[in-house]
Every structure is written in C-alpha cells, then in structure tokens.
A and B are shown apart, each in its own frame.
Chain A
Amino acid sequence: MSSCKEDDPRIDGIQSRIRVVPNFPKPGIMFQDITTVLLDPRAFKDTIDLFVERYKSKNITVVAGIEARGFIFGPPIALAIGAKFVPLRKPKKLPGKVIREEYDLEYGSDCLEMHVGAVESEERALVVDDLIATGGTLCAAMNLLERAGAEVVECACVIEIPDLKGRDRLNGKPLFVLVESQ
C-alpha cells in the first residue's frame, strides 16, 4: 500500500526544490538530489513536519535511518516524536557488536548493519530514507529490525520512483512518501 500526500500545499514547495541530475551515478540514471531541499529552510522544515504530523500519535519508539541520507531526515523526526534514533550502516562503520543483513544490487550484493541491543522486542519502528528505488535497501532495513523483534509500522521516504516498484519489495509493509518521481 503506498500513500502519498498529493493534496497538502507544502508538497509543491518541496517538490520544486528537488534537483534532478542526469547521468549520475552512471549514464541513464536521473538522480533525484535532495540537497537542494536542505538549502531551503522552509522546504526542509515542511518535509519534517509532514512526517511528524503523520507519526506523532502512532506510538513509534524507534526511527531507523539508512546511511547516509536517512541520517538527515530520520533524527529530526525522532527528536520531534520522542523516539530513539538508530543508524543503519554500511559494513564496518558501527563499533561493537552488530547484526548484518545482506541484500542484492544490480551487480553483486551489499550489507546493512545495526547495533545489537539498539532495538528491543516489541518496539514500534519507522524506517526512513530519502528515496525508495528498487526497495532493496529498505527491505534489508526492515529485516534487521524484525530480526531484533521490533514491529516495522511503516517506511517513510521523501521520494518514490514508482516505475521501479520498490513498494512491492516491502513484504506488505506500508510505505509513505511525499513526492513521486518519474
């Protein structure tokens, strides 16, 4: 189930601040650059507010953010709703004991890690990233949280690329996005 806030007047401002960079990181890819949203304090605030309004009454205890752009959007949401923030990282970045989840790339595979003990059983979690493309990373993130016993309530992204059908990779978990992009 994908839901998206088409009718809120703040969405236009956010969408207009997203910069599309062609052929990055490789030819044929139209990269959705959110750094230009961050340069507009009003647009950045509106982005966070839209998420906070949705989640503040949902008893979320954990916001998990995916390295690195999930680190920009996750913490402000966590702070506003009184949840803890858990960084989900590339291999070997987190010190101490971690659990890891491997996931497929177009060529080869990658891994996402989470600290042992960061999340407890029965916690209610939100997973945050700037964008969902194929959904591989978000799926790995959800698996990590569920392996630790948490319930993933929803995935939240600023942007979705619907053609890549990422929402179908989320094991039936709901996805909430602000902007859909071609």
Chain B
Amino acid sequence: MAAQIVDSTDDRISRISSSIRVIPDFPKPGIMFQDITTLLLDPMAFKDTIDLFVERYKDKNINVVAGIEARGFIFGPPIALAIGAKFVPMRKPKKLPGEVISEEYSLEYGTDTMEMHVGAVQAGERALVVDDLIATGGTLSAAIRLLGRVGVDVVECACVIELPELKGRSRLGDKPLFVLVS
C-alpha cells in the first residue's frame, strides 16, 4: 500500500512537471522562464498541485497561508480553503488599502518593497508562505521577515518550482522549503 501511495505521488509530480512551459529569454535575454499558466490549463495537474500541498499541511495546524503577489494568489487560496486557514495577500506597494507594514528587499539592481495589512495576522500564529517559484529567495525571505516582525511562526515555504542553481533555499534562514519540481 505504501508503494502505491509513492507511485501515485510520482505520477502526479510527473504530470505537473510536464505541464510547465519554459519560455526562453523572458523577461530578458538569458532567462529561461518557468511558466505555470500551462499547468493551470490542465485541471487535473492543477488539482494535483493543490492536493500535494494540502496533504502535506492539513495536519500541521497552519492558521495562515500568506501568498505573494501575483502568482502566489493562484496557489495560496485553494490551499488555505482546503486546510481551513486564513489567506493573507503579500503585495507590492500601495495596493493594499488601510494600514500596512512594509519590508524592503534587494533586487539584482535596486530594491523593492512588500506590504502586509496590519492586523491580518497575530503573534503566535503558524504560517505557510506560498509562491509559484523560488529563484534567488529574495521575495520569500522578505515575506518571512514581515511575518516574523509581528510574531508569526513561519512553519515552511511552499513553491511549485525551485531553481536550485540560484541557491534561494539558503536565503530562507532556518525556514524549511518544500517544492514539487526542482
């Protein structure tokens, strides 16, 4: 029975992996962009993606799923709904109305800012951070810092895809990372 479960997971990962489209030279020359929109066009692959995350997190007492704008908004909410957690959008500047807290993070050239609503999360809550992909880890580590500043325990970061050569995992401090496709 255990072997059957592992095979089933392998089959799902295989379907997910083959549904991702690689677009060369986007957004600039030399970058091989991992496009998950083709995964979303395959209802079975999209369902499998969410199921794999939900199976991992449903018994981990997660109170909060934080999703990073914009593709984290596609994967985060279905996970949150399935595990009974709240969903908190982590946004680019000036998108969230009302009081926010901000965290600056480095880009290749310059910096950007991520914002979260004041009062969205409470100290002591257990959080998952979700995005479609981890590259350098800059955005994810900004999300971890934002949540940490208000006393939230980030349990894990979850992405569909990892680009291991960019070593993003090492920028997450002591926070574990779970991915489906590497």
Contact = CB atoms under 8 A, between A and B. Distances in A.
A35 B40 contact: no
Interface string B33-69: 1010100111100110010000000000000000001
Contact of A44 (B41, B74, B81): B81
A47 to B, nearest CB: 10
A45 B117 contact: no
**Contact residue range for chain B?**
35 or more
Interface in A19-56: 19, 21, 24-25, 31, 33, 35, 38-41, 44-45, 48
B83 to A, nearest CB: 9
29 contacts: A25-B97, A35-B88, A35-B96, A38-B87, A38-B88, A41-B85, A44-B87, A45-B81, A67-B70, A68-B69, A68-B73, A68-B91, A71-B70, A71-B73, A72-B73, A72-B87, A75-B46, A79-B78, A83-B43, A84-B41, A84-B43, A84-B46, A85-B46, A86-B41, A87-B74, A93-B70, A94-B37, A95-B23, A95-B35
A72 B130 CA distance: 13
Contacts of B75: 75
B77 A39 contact: no
Which are the 4 A-B pairs with shortest beta-carbon distances? A21-B97, A71-B73, A24-B97, A95-B23
Interface in B114-167: 117, 120
A contact face: mostly helix, strand, loop, or mixed: mixed
A24 B37 contact: no
A21 B99 CA distance: 10
Interface of A: 19, 21, 24-25, 31, 33, 35, 38-41, 44-45, 48, 67-69, 71-73, 75-76, 78-79, 82-87, 89, 92-96, 115, 118
B175 interface: no
Contact of A79 (B43, B73, B80, B89): B43
